[in-house]
Each structure stands twice: as C-alpha cells, then as structure tokens.
Amino acid sequence: MIDLSVVIPAYNEESRILPTLESVHAFLNKNFPAFEIIVVNDGSRDSTSQVVTEFAKHHEGVRLIAYEVNKGKGYAVRVGMLAASGNLILMNDADGSSPIQEVLRLKEAMENGADIVIASRAKEDPTRVVKALAYRTYMGNTFNSIVQWLLLPGLKDTQCGFKLFKRPVAQDIFSCSRIDGYAFDVEVLYIAKCRNYKIVEIAIDWTNVTGSKINVLVDSAKMLFQVIKVKANSVSGHYRQKTKAKALV
C-alpha cells in the first residue's frame, strides 16, 4: 500500500517543474517507505510532458497523466486526486514554493485527528517565514476576506497550493466538486465543511517563485465569480449528497 501520493498539477511548467520533482522525490525517498508522484499535465503547450517523462525514466514512483486541452487547475487537481492510491494525498504546486519538508508537519496534524490539513501563508507563527510579493499578499487577503464572509469563516488562507487529505476524504470531496478554475480550493474546503470533515490550518514556510500563470486582474475576477457559484451550488443542496468516486482520465 502506498503511504503518500503527491499530486502536482502542471500547465506550461517546463522551466520550473524539474527542481520540484528532484526535491520532492529525494525527500519522499528518505521519509516514506512507499510513495508516488502524479504529475497532471493540464494541456501544456510546452515541453512539460517530456521533462516529466524523462525524469520518470530514472526515478521510480513517478507517473504522468496528460491531456491535450487546458481545463484549469481545479480540473487537473481533481484528476490527480481521483487517480491517487496513497493512504494520504498531498496537493503540491509545480513551482515548489512550499517546501516538501513541510508535509511532515501537516502529517502530524492529521495523525492528531484532522481529515484535511491545509498549509497557510497567513496564519501567524513567528517560527515560519513567508516571502511573498506585497501586491499578491494584498490581493490574497482581500479575496480571503470575501471567502470568510460568504463561505469559510476562520480559514485564513484557502489558496495555498499545499494541502493534505486522507484518501477516502479526497475521493468523496473531489467526486463532488465542480469548479475547474483557481477557486477550486474554496469549493473543496466548503464541501469538507458541509460534510463535517475536520480541517486544520498550519502555518508553513513559503517563498514566491517567479513565473506564476495567474493574471491578477483577470483571474481574480473569475475567482470571485466562482466563489459566488459555490454559494449557489450550496443553496441548491449539491454538496450534501455523496457521490461515488470515479477517475476522470
């Protein structure tokens, strides 16, 4: 049985994904008896697939899932989560902004009773160091204030791309989720709240890595629309009904 699956969504990440794969694989190889790394290539137009395929030739436990049309980060993460076999499943961004070592802190919180543990750049902790761009921090805090008001009071950072799930919890939630864009995190955590899963937020070290695919103005507007859509789905009762998990690819 696989102890940990790491799901990495990737879109045009040929220049950033190799260092992430190297650090993640080296760390898991030393700390987890059995693991897998699943890279989901979300319709990249560059050489992302080739980089991952070449890496997998020389490193065990690496798997590539690829499709031709870009469908969004939320869709890519959903594909990976439903394909993962590990007892625990970690969502990890391709840029490596969240150090893989932090998974041990998330795992400890899970061993103490959490169903989902989310990394946070906003939760206060004097032992953690967050190196973020000022305007991105401001935009993130504004977005989070709206999310807390509408859907998830108490969670300070829903958007950090470093989240750990128990596998049955991930299968339940991602089989029900619908948002394919960047606000999928909000939907996933709201579904968890609706189904009474225990969510724990842990402050981590985090460093901004250049090359983000997010257009601050355009994507922020889309994310706000997606949050409203989550609220509408909630009113319709969609998130209260459990759905049988099935792979998308």
Give the mean pLDDT per block of 10 residues along the chain (249 residues). Answer: 96 96 98 97 97 97 97 97 98 94 97 96 84 67 83 92 97 95 94 96 87 63 85 80 61
**pLDDT at res. 15:** 94
DSSP string, 226-238: HHHHHHHHHHTTG
Which tokens sit at 69?
């049309």
**pLDDT at res. 215:** 60
CB 91 within 8 A of CB 162: yes
**pLDDT at res. 235:** 78
What are the structural domain ranges in the chain? 4-240
- Whether CATH 3.40.640.10 fits 4-240: no
CB 202 within 8 A of CB 157: no
